[in-house]
Structure 1
């Protein structure tokens, strides 16, 4: 991983164009690797998604209840599609790291789960052609899963948990949602959150939930806030208008920049912020401290239908392979892109987003890592909120 990638000029990638064009550049200039420092200090790569009402309707119509139910966590991308790009192979996924000196250990998929734990009647076994290795579920985990399935009553949220169902309600239950997307012809899920923005349309998620590293952009990208049991959509569905990732993510899948911002279309003529509210977002925060992380994990013992949270104190990457921070968290695949909040008030469900769920190391499934929201993420947001 390159930690000193220079921050270049902003560069939107327009649908149908061969190469990216620089924001603020003269007409005809189309090389992302030719920076225009007068435009911006940080490189932003853009994709125009569903621009017209007809395109947005097509995206929303695509996501039937059946397709939503069958969509898999984005962590299974290469398993399902047999890809050969940046995220290729079962052991070569960007952001799923082997700890130093343990390169012989098999890597687990990005984000949070073990590839084999897909709730699809042996789907992973059929994909691999052999009996898959399963993540151990201890009696403590089994009991927790039973409590989740039975729907535990609302109680005071814990300030230290590696994965509990959020039963308290509040703003976070509305502002956090599931993302449905198509990559390489297969359907997947992630998590995301609304943020307060000038256009009232922005959600933040992981970069790999928007663009396949150096590969292609996601299609049919749709945000469903407050996703509930059975796919209930009481607050509507919102198709993506424009998507943004940082240059280092688009060029090399650099996990320090695994952040995506998406400007949504309206639903029923209403902006998402006006319907469900928003969370604050902040940049260059003090490192460490208490954080609450949220998402919709879809692998056992979770089922993707409930909002789950982790809470605890942040710590630095012990291997020094990223500038990300770690949070004790056993959420599984599907929670990628879910918001991490500081200054979070459990009573109101309001907080300030300073990271998102990104990756885990192969030898530590109990710690989730999230990118630090620095100047590059601020430039990303500043662009998205005026899209």
Structure 2
């Protein structure tokens, strides 16, 4: 079997498997509520079964928020390692793709210089797992609470293992500049399949952020649209902050082009030719992207690469499971 590599570089994250809770039971995982799949019914019809969502409380109090902000000194940010893209068997958090122009696709990522909404909504994530500091990518998304960002599951929780600590989002990051400040996490959400078995097909995380000085991230930078159950195979643009050579994590990089199904049939993910490296994990895939406005609809995030093909980035399909994740997170 071909091994896959996540986009978290510098560490191989290992954790034990957890059993699936009995249907209809509410359990606790790592001290957090797990919402099990429960069939909902009306008098006239049966509603499809809900996919479970696993939640975690992050920096809820003012003191916790200040602790996280104080933790991320310029030195710690500079020293944080990227989560690599090589997944499954040898999971190392991965790298997003290179810019591919629609008429002349390329596998090499390019710096995004056209400006627009995407430069505000995309940002770097700084986090700690197992005592080690890491970086990922993420995007703010339109939501009822105006506080939501979407990223890879492995940028929020180490599969079956620990949740991330010191989690903070820096939208619009560029060469160390933080034009919109930092936003700390107050609640984290991953899909049940990711939390129980590190299922690459469900490597998606969402984080509800604390307001900064009473202002929501959505009011500061806005948010991209998000779409579910879209037709497969549509071209997309993917964005992120790859950190490993030849990139340095200081600029927003993109790739663009057609996407295809996983040729190994190991996941339900789709792939795009892209050479982005570790640090781009969690960066948004935007369908229907308008290069003039920098707007699109998020339909996936950068998740992993296969070890024998480092020029193709894979991202999970946003279907029913991710829609339930989003619905839960935006109401938090």
TM normalised by structure 1 equals 0.74
Please state whether the residue corresponding to 1:75 is helix, strand or coil. Answer: strand
Task: Go from structure 1 to structure 2 and tell me whether the alpha carbon gap of 1:292 and 1:184 turns closer, same or farther (over 3 Å shift).
Answer: same
Structure 1 runs of 4+ off > 2 angstroms?
5-13, 17-23, 35-40, 107-110, 156-162
Task: Please say which structure displays the higher CA radius of gyration.
Answer: 1
The CA distance in 2 between the partners of 1:372 and 1:9, in whole Å, is 26
Q: Does 1:51 align with 2:60?
A: yes
Residue correspondence of structure 1 range 262-277 to structure 2 within 5 A: 262-277=207-222
Of 146, 160, 172, the match for 2:118: 172
Is the 1:9–1:44 contact (alpha carbons within 8 Å) kept by the matching residues of 2? no
Is the 2:82–2:93 contact (alpha carbons within 8 Å) kept by the matching residues of 1? no
Q: Which has the higher strand share?
A: 2
Q: Does 1:72 align with 2:15?
A: no
Equivalent residue, structure 2, for 1:201: 147
* Unmatched segments (≥5 aa) in structure 2: 2-19, 42-48
Q: Does 1:111 align with 2:120?
A: no
The CA distance in 1 between the partners of 2:26 and 2:141, in whole Å, is 23
Please state whether the residue corresponding to 1:161 is helix, strand or coil. Answer: coil
Equivalent residue, structure 1, for 2:184: 239
Q: Does 1:42 align with 2:42?
A: no
Of 158, 161, 168, the match for 2:101: 158
Task: Go from structure 1 to structure 2 and tell me whether the alpha carbon gap of 1:170 and 1:245 turns closer, same or farther (over 3 Å shift).
Answer: same
Task: Go from structure 1 to structure 2 and tell me whether the alpha carbon gap of 1:7 and 1:202 turns closer, same or farther (over 3 Å shift).
Answer: farther
The CA distance in 1 between the partners of 2:313 and 2:77, in whole Å, is 25
The CA distance in 1 between the partners of 2:316 and 2:330, in whole Å, is 20
How far off its partner does 1:36 sit? 4.1
Q: Deviations over 1:50-84 (max 9, x none)?
A: 111111111111111111010001239xxxxxxxx
Considering Cα pairs closer than 8 Å and 6+ residues apart, tell me whether 1 or 2 has the greater RCO.
2
The CA distance in 2 between the partners of 1:181 and 1:212, in whole Å, is 12
Please state whether the residue corresponding to 1:212 is helix, strand or coil. Answer: coil
Please state whether the residue corresponding to 1:269 is helix, strand or coil. Answer: coil
Equivalent residue, structure 2, for 1:320: 265
Please state whether the residue corresponding to 2:158 is helix, strand or coil. Answer: coil
Task: Go from structure 1 to structure 2 and tell me whether the alpha carbon gap of 1:337 and 1:9 turns closer, same or farther (over 3 Å shift).
Answer: farther
Equivalent residue, structure 2, for 1:283: 228
Q: Which has the higher helix share?
A: 1
Equivalent residue, structure 1, for 2:256: 311
The CA distance in 2 between the partners of 1:172 and 1:9, in whole Å, is 41
The CA distance in 2 between the partners of 1:12 and 1:60, in whole Å, is 32
Q: CA RMSD in A?
A: 2.6
Task: Go from structure 1 to structure 2 and tell me whether the alpha carbon gap of 1:12 and 1:379 turns closer, same or farther (over 3 Å shift).
Answer: farther
* Unmatched segments (≥5 aa) in structure 1: 24-31, 77-92, 98-106, 114-143, 145-155
Is the 2:83–2:92 contact (alpha carbons within 8 Å) kept by the matching residues of 1? no
Q: Deviations over 1:227-264 (max 9, x none)?
A: 111x2111010000000000010000000100000000
